[in-house]
A and B are shown apart, each in its own frame.
Chain A
Amino acid sequence: MSDIIIWTVASLTVLGLLLAVILYYVAQKFKVEENPKIGEVDSVLPQANCGGCGFAGCHAFAESCVKQGSLEGHFCTVGGNAVMKLVAEKMGVEAVEQAPQVAVVRCQGSPDKRKKTNDYGGASSCKVKASLYTGDTGCKYGCLGEGDCVDACNFDAIHMNPQTGLPEVTEENCTACGACVKACPLDIIELRNKGPKGRRVYVACKNEDKGGVARKACSIACIGCGLCEKACKFGAITIVNNLAYVDFNKCKLCRQCVVVCPTGAMTAVNFPTPLPKKKETKKAPKASEITKPVVPPINDAAKTEAAKPIAVKSNIATDNSAKVQAKKELKTEKKVEE
């Protein structure tokens, strides 16, 4: 009996040693020579391998940074400024900083605002639906609601709201990797600056039809009336093809555009207190095309005067704690009156 045990142990030991030696030599012979710095940089990256940086995974990003020798044109949106600082340290270069960004869904056309004109019965994919026709509503630029963006997200940061049929971004999880932006066949999702305290103002619409047509299809569409462009003192808003656009680099978050927007397409997010709306002036588009009044009957100039100081205040980055508290309760703010 003991003979067997001795032979077993001996033969396995010899086999093990032999294999270890072979493996060692093979590992040495076929070793891939690589700049050790690449490994160092790779180790501080988030390892999400999401492709948001434009490279094929974190290792490829590290390789490109080290080969280039600088961080020009390289930014990891998932890790953000914190990770880029570490990368810069490892490489011994200046840190690169970028304003954090977040994905923004530029459509608010839920079924109550944007009536369905037909029923879609094909595969549940926005790409298929977009290639088939102009959608099941009167607006051919609006969200198709099949959730390609949700499928594309690796960070659990975007979900369809079953009531509105629109995607909603979970800001804490969004890494601005751009996967949902690429997935949307109608380019409805955009990466915009997160803004101080997560506050931003943008046009939640992509409709380029003339005002009347747009409004008929969706009550919260941008009609290209231009009131916001005139109201903006900072030149941040441009109207192209009947659609307004807010340049997030120029926007100072004063929200005057939100105040004057007749349809509610202009959206301000994460502000603690809503601004009162201005009365709809005669400069608004043809009355025949507006189906219902959107704005509450506001009385006088006094109120608009009062509006100004608040607007100025929210500009300032240092807000008192009360406002911070209020911000936590109010997630978003819609400009259609309650």
Chain B
Amino acid sequence: MKKLLVSPAPHIHSANTTSRMMLDVVIALIPAMIVSVLAYGLPALTVLLVSVVSCVLFEYLIQRFILKTKVTINDWSAAVTGVLLALNLPACSPWWMILIGAIVAIGITKMTFGGLGQNIFNPALVARVLLLISFPAIMTNYTGPDAVPLTSMFASLAHVDATSGATALSAVTEGLSQGQTIQQIFPEGHNYLSMLFFGIGGSAGEMSALALLIGFVYLLVRKVIRPHIPIAVIASMFVVSGIFWLIDPSQYTDPLFNILTGGALLGAIYMATDYVTSPMEPKGMVIFGIGIGVLTMFIRYFGAYPEGMSFAILLMNAVVPLINKFVKAKRFSKEAK
């Protein structure tokens, strides 16, 4: 009689795999990648390639030669980190800076904690923050979107000095510190529509809100992420920003501006929803999202940095184990009277 296979139930498995989910995230980011290449041209493409290749390479080297464990680059998680890192950096980043970012993201933030699933902080964000603090000049120098003629007309629509290297947010910080009011910094107001489609200067991934939203819809349809975190982040940013803007519009930027600029959408949709560093249950996810939104707005309004999303996410990452411990989902037995 032939040998049968014996194992405990269940005997079938859904088609979910880690690598498929990670691949879906990369696919969702394709619109944003396309936009950044269109805006900044070859430099953006170079940043993307160097980032992805170096992240994957470092993970392979560390797993193969230092840790001597199974190499798991085929789960696409290093590639996701690479893409997210690239979209967080300015298009003119030098290759050595990207390498440092990759080493920090993969080597320090991910591998030293135990590899996939064990890190407390979001790898791409830790790398970005480290680079921001170490190389502030390079990190805040955003060559405006006039590299390709197609884009310069959008830039002028957004009323930002496309070649100065400033983002809208840094323009705000600088202007406010010089005693200007919001109206003086942006005399013609904002063209939100253009910001939605093809916004003002920023890091490669901050450009087009629409591209990011397309990716968001894709992820929801593929059931890769749930909408709780992005909606909680954006909603709380909107509310906090709205309160302050209503109090004093000359000192505080309006909610729509805040949502569409900086890494708000990129952070809310792709960075905050990283499985490993976010809570596992819906109620916890909402608390996490609200925390991020509130912190981001506080840093933007009252902190020294123009952009607060990265720091907010990292701060909330540290609180996630606590959230997981105390905020539990609906349990059947607790529902019984």
Binds A, one of B5-13, B134-142, B252-260: B5-13
Interface size, A (range):
10 to 19
Q: A120 touching B3 by the CB < 8 A rule?
A: no
B4 interface hit (Cβ, 8 Å): yes
A191 CA to B3 CA in the complex, in Å?
A: 35
* Residue numbers in B under 8 Å from A119 (CB-CB): 3-6
Bound-state CA distance A288–B7 (Å) is 34
In the complex, A119→B5 CA distance in Å? 5
A136 part of interface (Cβ distance < 8 Å): yes
Interfacial chain A residues near B7, Cβ < 8 Å: 120-122, 132
**Beta-carbon contact of B3 and A122 below 8 Å:** no
Query: Can you list 10 residue pairs at the A/B interface with Cβ under 8 Å?
Result: A116-B3, A117-B3, A118-B3, A118-B6, A119-B6, A121-B6, A121-B7, A122-B6, A132-B7, A136-B6
Give a binary string over B1-32; 1 marks a CB under 8 Å from any A CB, 0 the rest.
00111111000000000000000000000000
**Shortest CB–CB separation between residue A124 and chain B, in angstroms?**
11
Binding site for A on B (CB under 8 A): 3-8
User: How many CB-defined contacts (below 8 Å) exist between A and B?
Assistant: 26
Q: Which residue of B lies closest to A119 (CB)?
A: B5
Nearest A residue to B11 via CB reads A121
CA distance A246 to B223 in the complex (A): 62
Instruction: Name the contact of B5 in the complex, choosing from A121, A123, A128 (C-beta under 8 A).
Output: A121
**A7 sits at the interface (CB 8 A):** no
A119–B4 CA distance with the chains assembled, in angstroms: 6
A118 CA to B3 CA, complexed, in Å: 5
Nearest 5 interchain pairs by C-beta: A121-B7, A122-B7, A122-B8, A119-B5, A121-B5
Q: Mark A110-145, 1 if CB is under 8 A from B, else 0.
A: 000000111111110000100011001000000000
Q: How far is the CA of A118 from the CA of B6 in the complex (A)?
A: 7
Quick check: B4 and A128 within 8 Å, CB to CB?
no
Q: Tell me which residues across on chain B come within 8 A of A136, comparing CB atoms.
A: 6
Complex Cα–Cα for A123 and B8 (A):
8
Residues of B within 8 A of A117 (CB): 3
Name the CB-closest residue of A to B1: A117
Chain A residues whose CB sits within 8 angstroms of the CB of B3 once the complex forms? 116-119
Chain A residues, CB < 8 A from B8: 122-123, 128, 132
- With a CB–CB cut-off of 8 A, which chain B residues contact A122? 6-8
Residue of B3, B4, B5, B6 contacting most chain A CB atoms (<10 Å): B6
Q: What would 8 more interface pairs be, CB under 8 Å, given A118-B4, A119-B5, A120-B6?
A: A117-B3, A118-B5, A121-B6, A122-B6, A122-B8, A123-B8, A132-B6, A132-B7
Q: How far is the CA of A121 from the CA of B6 in the complex (A)?
A: 6
Distance, CA A244 to CA B267, complexed state (A): 69
Alpha-carbon gap, A136 to B6, bound state (A): 8
Quote the shortest CB–CB distance from B24 to chain A (angstroms).
Answer: 28
A120 and B5 CA atoms in complex are apart in Å by 6
Which residues of chain B have C-beta atoms less than 8 A from A132's C-beta? Answer: 6-8
* A117-B2 Cα distance, complex, nearest whole Å: 8
Give CA–CA (A101, B6) in the complex, Å. Answer: 37
Report how far A128 CA is from B6 CA in the complex, Å. Answer: 12
Q: What distance in Å separates the Cβ of A152 from its nearest Cβ neighbour in chain B?
A: 21
Write the chain B residue with the least CB distance to A120. B6
For A116, list chain B residues within 8 Å (CB). 3
A70 to chain B, nearest CB (A): 44
**Which A83-129 residues have a C-beta within 8 angstroms of B?**
116-123, 128
Complexed CA–CA distance, A133 and B6 (Å): 9
Q: In this complex, what residue of A is CB-closest to B4? A: A118
Contacts of A121 in B (CB 8 A): 5-7
What is the CB-to-nearest-CB distance from B37 to chain A, in angstroms, rounded to a whole number? Answer: 45
A121 to B4, CA, bound (A): 10
Give Cα A128–Cα B4 distance, bound, in whole angstroms. 18
In the assembled complex, the Cα of A123 lies from the Cα of B9 at a distance in Å of 11
Which chain B residues border A123 with CB–CB below 8 Å? 8
Query: Which residues does chain B contribute within 8 Å of A128, judged by CB atoms?
Result: 8
Output the least CB separation between A117 and chain B (Å).
Answer: 7
- A133: which B residues are within 8 A, CB to CB? 6
Compute how far the CA of A178 lies from the CA of B6 in the bound complex, rounded to whole angstroms: 31
Closest Cβ–Cβ distance, residue B129 to chain A (whole Å): 29
A24 to B16, CA, bound (A): 58
B70 CB to nearest chain A CB (Å): 14
